[in-house]
Amino acid sequence: MANTIRALSMDAVQAANIGHPGMPMGMADVATVLWSDYLRFDPADPKWPDRDRFVLSAGHGSMLTYALLHLTGYAQPTMDDIRNFRQLGSPCAGHPENFLLEGVECTTGPLGQGLAMAVGMAIAERHLNAKFGDELVNHRTWAIAGDGCMMEGINHEAIGLAGHLGLGNLIVLWDDNRITIDGAVSLSSSEDVPERYRSAKWHTVSCDGHDPADIRRAIDEALADPRPSLVACQTIIGKGAPNKQGTSSVHGSPLGADEVAAARVEMGWEAEPFVVPADILADWRALGAAGAEANIAWQARLEASAKKADFEQQLSSVADKAAPALQDFIRGLAKDQPKVASRKASEMALGPLTEALPQLIGGSADLTGSNNTKTSATTPLTASSYDGRYLYYGIREFGMAAAMNGLSLHGGVVAYGGTFLVFSDYARNAIRMSALQETGVVYVMTHDSIGLGEDGPTHQPVEHVMSLRLIPNLNVYRPADAIETAECWALALQTTETPSVLALSRQNLPAVRGEGDAEWTGQTNRSAKGGYLLKPATAARKVVLVATGSEVSVAVDTAKVLEEQGIGADVVSMPCVELFQQADQAYREELLPADALIVSIEAGVTLGWQAVTGANGLNIGLDRFGASAPAEVLFKHFGFSAEAIVPQILAKLGN
């Protein structure tokens, strides 16, 4: 059975003339034992809620996953898909993509993130188990990781969190083959990996990764220990290729026709490429049938459970529930018109949201009091209280973001987490993976501009908002006041396949909304099209001021001065550029007419705003780093005031 994986892997990589045959050939025995004797799955129902989660963190070895899914009877990949490995139209991409194949729990490839997402999945399982008990939720998360996953910095963040939370339902199978692309691991590393895991409160055990009995012994040991476990599987990379196994040459290159032929002789594999003998295929397909029986038994328990309705509610989407949860809250804001920082407005909105939506699990990378991400409804999720809904991630921005992806991909929970916007750079690749994997996570990024003040340029994001807007399938929201902040929260929770970044202020923002919002409903969410007319011109319109966040009030002040000089100025608030760009063309042209000067105002880099203002527009921004001073001093110093902006507009108009 293991040689089937080896043969399919080397043949697919050879046909594509590119790929990584070494890892799947080396881990074939471990994977066969895992899927035969331990993993709980049902190919006919890939989304069965109580299935085990299998994560190939070493995603370059993607043929391991494709072979396993095909052999055990998943609808895809077909053998034709495998024949077309890495080719356009085949779901067998170079790295496993969760949006291409059922059975691929998460997209992997950036090393270490699969393991970190597995931590999030294990947290979700423990949380749901605490709520619904073993009868409905009792599964494990298994991850196969390589030396690259061990070395990446995110590994330290992820295993520290998992050990602290005591996630005994998480087992990592380490492909300990002592080889990287450059050569022997000893070229670049001499650390004791198991000792590092033990220091993070993990259980560790090793085994001969080519001896099924020893693999079972090690896994059984891991299952018996209440801590998360690292199983060091000592393997030979490219096992079965007689002249290249154990060398870096099999890591990321095809074996070559001669070595493929030699491997067939070495393994005694007589079948033609992409052909699996019927008796061996029958053994693999029997594993899928056994999984179906476990699923049927679980379905019976669900039907008989008094918690069935609550469980199904927990797994349901929050998309249609966010706006109703905020309706009374926003109507109250319209009446009170509070002057608060948008980070505080976010906390205020989270109050009714976390009360109404039990799926919400929040957290912060050690900035809870600054990000304002905890509410009275979210008690801490700890090793002794998995039923809590608030995670103290520690100073682990990257690990937090990846774990949030895992939480979301597991299902049954909606993850949000906070840090300073400037530290989105630490988390950036996981944010990108949120977008690629189509997860609905929400990043609460506070201290969004020079407005944070005295902490200075190291902490003042200048390029971050615009750079995040570059990521496809990511909505970046920068709300102007409390009502817009709540509207953006509603939109973030409604886009279940698009992650969101909420860029929120440290400094208080005056209310710019309220009029017309007393009867707010989800259908009247003015932020839904990304930009909207906040204040229409009273004189003949010559200028449209487009602003985001704290600069919307600056735009309002600027419009007032222009109007006093007889120059009509619309004020457009644009909390989400991405949604505005998706709006229909007629709406966009009405809001930003060709016969007006379009002026953007945002306390960040101006590059990118030309797509909104046009080449002949005016872009007011900050194309340099900030400085240490109080917020109001910095805004005046860098020209974010009506007195500084109006002369630039008049000059552009030729007045």
| Catalytic center residues | 397
CB atoms within 10 A of CB 561: 15
Angle at 207 between CA 204 and CA 212, to 5 degrees: 135
Cis previous bond, 242, omega within 30: no
Return the residue matching tokens 């939480």: 407
With helix as H, strand as E and coil as C, how does 573-605 read?
Answer: ECCCHHHHHHCCHHHHHHHCCCCCEEEEECCCC
Separation CA 375–CA 362 (nearest Å)? 9
* Cβ atoms of residues 620 and 610 within 8 Å: no
CB atoms within 10 A of CB 565: 12
Separation CA 130–CA 388 (nearest Å)? 9
Per the structure block, which two tokens stand in for 80? Answer: 């034709």
* Cβ atoms of residues 178 and 27 within 8 Å: no
Return the residue matching tokens 């992806």: 405
Give the CA dihedral 35, 39, 45, 51, nearest 10 degrees.
Answer: -160
Q: How many CA atoms lie within 13 A of 578 on its CB side?
A: 23
Spatial CA neighbour of 54 closest among 128, 131, 145: 145
* Cβ atoms of residues 235 and 176 within 8 Å: yes
Return the residue matching tokens 């300990």: 176
Q: Find the helix packing angle between 397-410 and 424-437, rounded to 10°.
A: 20
In angstroms, what CA-CA distances link 49 with 41, 228, 237, 555?
A: 10, 21, 34, 49
CB atoms within 10 A of CB 261: 11
Separation CA 655–CA 646 (nearest Å)? 11
Spatial CA neighbour of 410 closest among 127, 77, 36: 127
Q: Which residues of 268-286 are buried (b: 16+ CB within 10 A; e: fewer)?
A: ebeeeeeebeeeebeebee
Helix (H, G, I), strand (E, B) or coil at 638: coil
DSSP 288-299: HHHHHHHHHHHH
Please tell me what DSSP assigns to residue 176. Answer: E
* Cβ atoms of residues 562 and 543 within 8 Å: yes
DSSP 407-458: HHHHSS-EEEEEEEGGGHHHHHHHHHHHHHHT---EEEEE--SGGG-TT-TT
* Cβ atoms of residues 207 and 214 within 8 Å: yes
Separation CA 299–CA 341 (nearest Å)? 48
